[in-house]
Amino acid sequence: MPDSSTTAEKESSVPDFNSLLGVQDRVVIITGAGQGIGRIFAHAFAAYGAVAVVADLNKDKADIVAREIEARGHKALALAVDIGSFDSLQAMAQTVFDAYGRIDVLINNAGIFSTLEMRPFWEIPLDEWDKVMHVNITGVMLATRAVIPYMQRAKWGRIVNISSASILMGRPNYTHYTTSKSALIGMTRSMARELGNDYITVNAVLPGATQTEIPRKTVSPQQREAIVSRQCVPRTQVPQDLVGAVVFLATEGSRFMTGQVMNVDGGASHSGG
């Protein structure tokens, strides 16, 4: 029977919620998922029905997170991955594709931060500067390069780069970290331009000062209070506060949004205008 619905009816129809905003059966790679924010992302995607690929340099930590997820009846795969090695990242992508026949989403979360000491830029050892740049910038590019062929074949993909709201404040004494996270914004916009024809979106999320289980010697209780005092929402940020934005950017619902930056910092900083 011919479709009798009018063009106006089709245009005004509302897509099914799960197909638009769900991640059921999507294969999602989260780098640096053995701890901290990445661990919460892995749990969230798995709880929402995706396969969470827990990629981390520390295989023991990745295994623990994967077992936590599987104990809750969800799907996970733990992989040891060196974000600074293209060979390691290519092996990761091939393993995931061989296991599931697809790679839908990449969350570029891995980076160096918690182990850094606060100091003025003229005191940062050059080898430390180089390592931060290689992992936080080059590592994101290499991870994306490793998964892109699979997304291009499927003509569908989501790349989410985890930057930092600290770049909007010019945070002192972490100049290498702040510089690396600033670079991700330019990378996000350029990648979005290059991948749009393949219906692959690339966006960035800027978390605020997020408290995780990872110890931070350089942040005192007084500093935490000062951070909260700058926010519109007067409480400490936790990883769960980032889940909504990151998962949304992995769904069909964000299909016409690319090259964009989302601030999730409790209103500590405001961008755009």
End-to-end CA distance of the chain: give it in Å, rounded.
50
Contact of 15 with 133, CB cutoff 8 Å? no
Contact of 27 with 92, CB cutoff 8 Å? no
**Residue type for position 244:** G
Phi, psi of 105 (to 5 degrees): -140, 140
Using CA atoms, how far residue 266 sits from 83, 165, 206, 251, 263, in Å, is: 29, 10, 11, 23, 8
Contact of 188 with 197, CB cutoff 8 Å? no
* Strand intervals (E) in 24-155: 27-31, 51-56, 75-80, 105-108
- DSSP code, position 140: H
d(CA 15, CA 25): 18
Q: Is 48 an active-site residue?
A: no
Token digits for 29?
A: 């790679």
Which of these is catalytic: 48, 150, 174, 177? Answer: 177
d(CA 32, CA 71): 21
For 11, residues 6+ apart whose C-beta sits below 8 A from its C-beta are none
Q: What is the set of active-site residues?
A: 177
